[in-house]
Amino acid sequence: MAQTRNLPVPQKSKSYLTLAVVLFLTVFAGKFIVKDALPYFGFDEETFGRYWNVKWPLIGHISGGLIALLIGPFQFWKTFRNKFLNVHRVLGRVYLIAILIGTIASTFLAWTSGYEIGFTWALALQFLAFAWIASASMAYLSVMRKRIVQHKEWMIRSYVITFAFVLFRWLNELEIARTLMPQFTDRGPTLIWLSWVVPLFITEMIISFNKKKSTL
């Protein structure tokens, strides 16, 4: 009997951990939105700096990223998803369209203003854009084929990549990053790769571990 009463405890602890992670990511992303993203919508030339001549593609890129960033948590919210399934489907389509717009804008920026900084920076941006749209597309194709488990897994990967833009900004402001790599031509490409490849690798390990655990 004592063992039976203790069974819900791990699940409860897991819920608290999930809540703590969600709150941390919300604050983390909120700081990025307020400090780094929203100022561009004031359309002040000083804010855009060297990106003033490509302000509209940049706005498209930022808008797509913000929409995807804000929609993501609702798509993972099980209670919301079950109660408002049609809204969940509509938001899913909006999420995909936002990423498509962001990807097109990112590709344009990579080979214009990005290429002016350096080829490695442009290439790093392009690979991130490709991973972004590819993961979102796989999530969409999976749900269209009624492969719900795969859909959830690809949505997790997609959101991890969406969050890379937030992580990059944070890493780029770290003093240690600027000390080790004073030149942005070195720092930028390195941090871009770190912002999505490492988190995605960790995500893959967690997904794989949970799969093996469920089969035991």
In a domain, 143, yes or no: yes
Q: pLDDT at position 92, please?
A: 92
- Look at the chain and report how many structural domains it folds into: 1
Q: pLDDT at position 122, please?
A: 96
In a domain, 126, yes or no: yes
Tell me the chain's radius of gyration from C-alpha atoms: 19
In a domain, 18, yes or no: no
In a domain, 30, yes or no: no
Write down the pTM of the prediction. 0.85
In a domain, 157, yes or no: yes
Which residues, other chains included, contact 66 with Cβ-Cβ below 8 Å and sequence gap of 6+? Answer: 33, 37
The residue type at 107: T
Tokens of 28: 């983390």
Q: pLDDT at position 154, please?
A: 95
Distance CA 8, CA 130 (A): 42
| In contact, 199 and 163? CB cutoff 8 Å | yes
Domain that holds residue 78: 42-215
pLDDT at 68 over 90: yes
In a domain, 8, yes or no: no
pLDDT in tens, 92-118: 999 999 999 999 999 999 999 999 999
**CA angle, residues 15, 165, 56, in degrees to nearest 5:** 135
Nearest alpha carbon to residue 32 among 163, 199, 193, 175: 163
In a domain, 13, yes or no: no
In this prediction, residues 70-89 reach a mean pLDDT of: 86
In this prediction, residues 21-27 reach a mean pLDDT of: 72
In a domain, 131, yes or no: yes
Q: What percent of the chain has pLDDT over 70?
A: 88
Q: pLDDT at position 2, please?
A: 46
DSSP secondary structure letters along the chain: -HHHHHTHHHHHHHHHHHHHHHHHHHHHHHHHIIIIIGGGGG--HHHHGGGGGGHHHHHHHHHHHHHHHHHHHHHH-HHHHHH-HHHHHHHHHHHHHHHHHHHHHHHHHHTTHHHHH-HHHHHHHHHHHHHHHHHHHHHHHHHHTT-HHHHHHHHHHHHHHHTHHHHHHHHHH-HHHHHH--SHHHHHHHHHHHHHHHHHHHHHHHHHHHHHHHH-
In this prediction, residues 127-141 reach a mean pLDDT of: 96
pLDDT at 33 over 70: yes
In this prediction, residues 208-212 reach a mean pLDDT of: 79
